[in-house]
A = this chain, B = another copy of it.
Amino acid sequence: MTGKSPPSCPMDAILRLLMGPWTTYILWILNDRGPQRFGVLKRAVPGISTRVLTERLRMLQAAGVIWREQSSTIPPAVTYGLTERGKELREVLDALDEIAQRWQREGAFSDPRLATA
């Protein structure tokens, strides 16, 4: 993230975790399609760079939201999937998503200040 928030609020930590672009999208995919390999994720998330995808996965893993399984073959195969904590998080995110979709229908994000790009 760019700035920082009052350290006292744990929610800020969890939001920092989710905040980066695509983070929720990654969780969405892992929740929707089950465990996936790095390359598949990269292709599934349109426009993400290797560096950022790696970073996001590391953060999610550090928070115990996803697991990482690495086979030491050549070429390597690394698979990521949701942990229990990740699934728990998805539930809340789904609720948030439901609200977001409704608000969108109601035009809540039509203001240019909230532009997608």
Contact = CB atoms under 8 A, between A and B. Distances in A.
A22 B10 contact: no
A69 interface: no
Please give the count of copies of this chain that the complex contains: 2
A100 B83 CA distance: 16
Interface string A77-117: 00000000100110011011101110110001101011011
Contact of A10 (B58, B92, B97): B97
A92 B97 CA distance: 10
Could you tell me the dominant secondary structure of chain A's interface residues? helix
A20 interface: yes
A41 interface: no
A49 to B, nearest CB: 10
